Amino acid sequence: MSIITSVDTSDVRFPTSLQLDGSDAMNPDPDYSAAYLVIRTDAEDGLEGHGFVFTIGRGNDVEVAAIDTLAGHLLGRNVEELLGDMGATSRLFMHDSQLRWLGPEKGVMHMAIGAVINALWDLRAKREGKPLWQLLASLSPEEIVSLVDFRYLSDALTPEEALEILRAAEPGRAEREARLLAEGYPGYTTSPGWLGYSDEKLARLCREAIADGFTQIKLKVGADLDDDIRRLRIARETCGEGFPIAIDANQRWDVADAIAWVKALERFDITWVEEPTSPDDVLGHAAIARGIAPIPVATGEHAQNRIIFKQLLQADAIGFMQIDAARVGGVNENIANLLLAAKFGVPVCPHAGGVGLCEAVQHLSMFDFIAVSGSKDGRVIEFVDHLHEHFVTPVVIDNGNYRAPLAPGAGAEMHASSITEFSWTGSHSGRKVSA
């Protein structure tokens, strides 16, 4: 038996605003940041659990404060008990009635809980000597169902239905795991599409994306319609007819604006329209989906929890679900999201534009392929080539595919030297831009 002896937090901020990487219609100057935690125990194995909340700068300190408050729930606790029943452990945090008032299940406190849950999964995966995707894909359907909080889901997905989905995917697990290890999992790249780039840079990055083996790109839109038309024309001409190009408005529009704007771009053959409006607006997304059909709507990087995803699916509002590893209540809630998507037959294409998000979310898509949806069809994981060098096990992209990570853990561990170098001191002065 071992106990948790420390939860150390760090306010890590990379000065990405000094370049225009990551610039979109709503986020002109993000500083990609992480409210980061390390869980340590008194076990002789010396293993640690690492997790983080991704933010874009100001307020990262508030996320750190939220994680610090949660540390009180962890210190001194029996590690084997926590890790042995991660469903109960998740509920321990989610159902705390006083903390729940701060959401419920949304925003700063919910993301902090997610980071803690993810750090515990990281520790468990390291203890079992497996990458997280493989650990999750080795659980029985019953064990997976026990991880999910079905509260508020039962009108769309019951535990029995979830079990059916998981049992139906059981027979092919070994074969799909072999395929995953051989082929990897397809990625798409957002790197060409940031708003701050020149036309020349856009065209060059489109060519590079294709040369690198990516089979889809994405462009940020929504700041200026004429610019969007020009940039989409360049992208379409450079990539050629039929090459999948998605667009991303980052919540810029109201319902009528979204429909009109997308109509003006539809001639460019759009794969999906991402975040057309407020992430809270289920009915708005549904109205937009009807208005721009057959172009599908995609959203999720800001969907606060499984209850929003449930409704987006119930309302036929999305053609793609974009889970995020660090927005919801961690691995457990994302398993609920994967099961909901499978129930409604909607492909999951995770969001990963940020720091550490590619490293973290790939595990969920790979688990989905092996044990939930059983399919890679129509599914791609976002890839943005930012800041990977700060991670101990950075993602490996091979001809446009995420190679399945083999190192034990959940992928979130940052180099100690990066944490030290980019710990926030109140200004970016004297810092190098890390690209």
Binding residues for its own copies (CB under 8 A): 26-31, 55-59, 61-63, 65-66, 69, 96-111, 151-155, 251, 254-256, 277-284, 287, 302, 304-305, 307-308, 310-311, 314-315
CB of 111 to its own copies, least distance (A): 8
| Residue placing its CB nearer to its own copies in the complex, 5 or 27 | 27
103 or 378, CB closer to its own copies?
103
Contact between residue 393 and residue 409 where contact means Cβ atoms under 8 Å apart: yes
Pull the structure tokens for residue 306: 């499984």
The nearest distance, CB 56 to its own copies, in angstroms, is 5
β-strands 401-402, 397-398: how paired?
Answer: antiparallel
Query: Closest Cα to residue 169, out of 147, 150, 187, 144?
Result: 144
Task: Please tell me whether residue 103 adopts helix, strand or coil conformation.
Answer: coil
The CA-atom distances, in angstroms, between 421 and each of 38, 90, 166, 377, 432 are 17, 32, 44, 41, 10
Tokens of 106: 């949304």
Q: Report yes or no: 112 and 59 within 8 Å, Cβ to Cβ.
A: no
Residue 86: which H helix or E strand, with range? helix 86-94
Residue 220 appears among annotated catalytic residues: yes
> What is the distance between the alpha carbons of residues 354 and 12, in angstroms, rounded to a whole number?
13
Torsion 106-107-111-113 (CA) sign: negative
Q: Minimum distance from CB of 340 to its own copies (Å)?
A: 13
CB within 8 A of 103, min separation 6: which ones? 109, 110
Q: Which of 218, 220, 386, 390 is catalytic?
A: 220
Output Rg (C-alpha) for the chain, integer angstroms. Answer: 21
Which tokens in the block code for residue 5? 């002896």
CB atoms within 10 A of CB 151: 12
Closer to its own copies at the Cβ: 156 or 239?
156
Tokens 């898509």 belong to 365
> Which is nearer to its own copies, 206 or 307 (by Cβ)?
307
Contacts of 3 (CB under 8 A, 6+ apart): 41, 42, 76, 77, 78, 79
Query: Residue 106 or residue 390: which is nearer to its own copies going by CB?
Result: 106
The nearer residue to its own copies, 271 or 434, going by C-beta atoms, is 434
Q: Give the Cα separation of 135 and 371 in Å (integer).
A: 11
* Minimum separation from the CB atom of position 136 to its own copies (A): 26
Q: Which is nearer to its own copies, 3 or 62 (CB)?
A: 62
For the chain, the residue count is: 435
Residue 377: CB minimum distance to its own copies, A: 28
Q: For this structure, is 351 an active site residue?
A: yes
What three-state secondary structure class fits 220? strand
Task: Give the residue from 258, 362, 259, 354 showing the smallest Cα distance to 301.
Answer: 354
CB-based contact 255:279 (threshold 8 Å): no
Choose the catalytic residue: 106, 343, 351, 390.
Answer: 351
Smallest distance from its own copies to CB 62, Å: 5
CB of 58 to its own copies, least distance (A): 4
Supply the minimum distance, in Å, between the C-beta of residue 162 and its own copies.
15
C-beta of residue 213 within 8 angstroms of C-beta of residue 401: yes
Residue 73 or 390: the one with the smaller Cβ distance to its own copies is 73
Q: Which residues are catalytic?
A: 220, 351
